[in-house]
Structure 1
């Protein structure tokens, strides 16, 4: 109400045409020796130029079972499996689990896991990848720190280097076993479910909520009564049987 005594008129600003800006730049040219100033304080620069190549991550692990023959003091390799986890540049995850058709040692299973991961990376045309594994032997042998003394691992080592040459940028890292638990779980899952008669086994993993207090409200408070119980223990070879007979019937052992 106070401003009503003044004659105030609103005049909108006219748009500045592109020709006016061109005329201003032509009238005020920059000196030839003026340094280029790329500082833009009023704008947020997200990136300059093209972004670097997308970096993938690979976690691998192998698992193998074996049995020892006491008479011959030798170890026979058993079932084996490999687990792989790819992490895309957008932080998506791809899980792979394979059971090996032939028995092998644990070190051979680790090599098989690395080789399988490299073959998949080549098929997906990955240009740069970081590879993580918990096998100190495999990582150091591929890196050249350890020598390959086992003749059975020499062919794995040579083929691994051949695959690494087909990926432009590949870096290997050794991580603690706890940091590689997901790939380890996939490898053990494939090993335990290995079936010589089946080439592939479909395993479905679903989520389920834990038991809540709401679920407990539907349970009757009446204590559960066990009507009968049976045991599968062989009574003839049970050392407790004579003691039970003595306490119940007075029969001496």
Structure 2
């Protein structure tokens, strides 16, 4: 079997190569037969299925994998054969949790059972090139697992050479154990095999690179979701320039340009130069910068007509008033959380409510109160006469946590430095956000 793959651990790059059918005759030896274990140098061991004479044709470059002889590695294999093509996939997992994916497209017709055997052989050869000595092989083909373990007899003459080759490779390991697992638990190897079967590799190419990257934020330009805009450059500046002159930011690649085109299609620019966000209902919302958005939240939330609504309602009300910016939900949630009046007038949970909450949230790690934190204290005792009536605050403060005693008691002091005469229970406090 000829392999041609390459992988970059940092960017998750992998190569899908072309494979040739395994031939059991003596005139055509596989790659694993041409190199003995003693001939594999450390450099070759770090390059899975790599050819020492042609290092550029190695399908995996994984320098960080360190082999430990006493540890057991895991191998998952799967094969796919359909009207779109044939492919095999292998996933090798080191004892440290490092994943080594392998995917090969077969340019010859095979049955599903043949493809499963091809995948199993590929996995054993790959593990051997890594220097693995103890291996647990996982597969979702009951036929392959039971035949290689000797539970079932091989009746098909086409599968006998595969069985003989597996027995030969098994001698290169100290320990090989086969385990059957359901198909739904073998999804990674299944995806690799189907990907290789479906993909089209041109005749002049031996392999096709596949890059899987990690991205922590949407592909918006100019850090739209970070809301780190300068006064002269609002978050929608790139959208305006694109709609006016079709200009792209200089640092955008092809993927970023496509994201900008798709994003710009959701906005409308009027003759007066103002940019509007077009909703699914066709309503135009005026796009505002960071400074204007702060003023809008303040006026809507706690202005003359503000009702100190929660963050969800605040976002909806701002949109009904015709304003929009990309980080509305995050900004409104932060604004409401730090609102002083919203904190001191928040509802006090009754004892039975707290018991129910504890029963359902036993596995939830509570947000603790530490010494030096600002807290609010629940107002439980009713004054004989309170002119505010039912509109009085439910929480008093903020106060400073001076010391936390054993048993859930806390010593508080006000902002003027006056200590409370008696300790306060933790269940009567909540954290205050200035």
- TM tier relative to shorter chain: 0.5 to 0.7
Partner of 2:136: 130
Instruction: Assess if the C-alpha contact under 8 Å between 2:77 and 2:89 holds in 1.
Output: yes
Conserved 8 A contact 1:79-1:194: no
Asked if the contact 1:61/1:133 (under 8 Å) is kept, the reply is: yes
Matches within 5 A, 1:105-120: 105-120=111-126
Report the equivalent of 1:85: 91
The one of 79, 82, 86 equivalent to 1:62 is 79
Task: Kindly indicate whether the alpha-carbon contact (under 8 Å) linking 1:64 and 1:106 is maintained by their aligned counterparts in 2.
Answer: yes
Tell whether 2:193 aligns with 1:187. Answer: yes
Q: 1:126 to 1:223 in 2, by over 3 A?
A: same
Task: Kindly tell me the number of residue pairs found equivalent between the two proteins.
Answer: 164
Partner in structure 1 of residue 210 of structure 2: 203
Give the whole-Å Cα distance in 1 for the aligned partners of 2:92 and 2:173.
Answer: 15
SS in 2 for 1:151: coil
> 8 Å contact 1:81–1:109 — kept in the other structure?
yes
Q: Could you tell me the TM-score, scaled by structure 2's length?
A: 0.35
Structure 1 length as normaliser, TM-score? 0.58
Higher relative contact order (CA 8 A, sep 6+): 1
SS of the residue aligned with 2:178?
Answer: strand
4+ runs deviating over 6 angstroms:
214-218
* Structure 2, gaps ≥5 residues long: 1-67, 220-224, 226-262, 268-275, 284-434
Q: 1:224 to 1:64 in 2, by over 3 A?
A: farther
Q: 2: distance between equivalents of 1:102 and 1:196?
A: 15
Change (3 A) 1:54 1:147: same
Give the conservation status (yes or no) of the 8 Å contact 1:97–1:190: yes
Aligned residue for 1:202, secondary structure, equals strand
Q: Which deviations, in whole Å up to 9, do the C-alpha atoms of 1:154-190 show, x marking residues without a partner?
A: 1111111111121110100000001000100010001
Residue range with higher mean Cα deviation, 95-104 or 136-145:
95-104
CA distance in 2: counterparts of 1:156 and 1:162, whole angstroms: 10
**Does the Cα contact within 8 Å between 2:135 and 2:177 map onto a contact in 1?**
yes
Partners of 1:114 and 1:99 in 2: CA distance: 14
CA 1:210–1:145: 2 relative to 1, 3 Å: farther
Shift of 1:88: 0.6
CA contact (8 A) 1:101 1:196 kept: no
Deviation at residue 207 of structure 1 after TM alignment: 3.8
Once residues 127 and 69 of structure 2 are traced to their aligned partners in structure 1, the CA distance between those partners, rounded to angstroms, is 18
Of residues 264, 274, 278 in structure 2, which corresponds to 1:220? Answer: 278
- Match for residue 102 of structure 2? 96
Once residues 281 and 148 of structure 2 are traced to their aligned partners in structure 1, the CA distance between those partners, rounded to angstroms, is 62
Partner of 2:251: none
Q: Deviations over 1:123-143 (max 9, x none)?
A: 111110111000000000100
Which structure 1 segments of 5+ residues have no match?
1-50, 67-77, 226-253
Instruction: Say what the alpha-carbon RMSD is for the aligned residues.
Output: 2.9
Distance in 2 separating the partners of 1:167 and 1:224? 66
What does residue 176 of structure 1 align with? 182
- CA drift of 1:196 comes to 5.7
> Could you tell me how far apart the structure 2 residues matched to 1:187 and 1:108 are?
13
Distance 1:192 1:222 in 2: 36
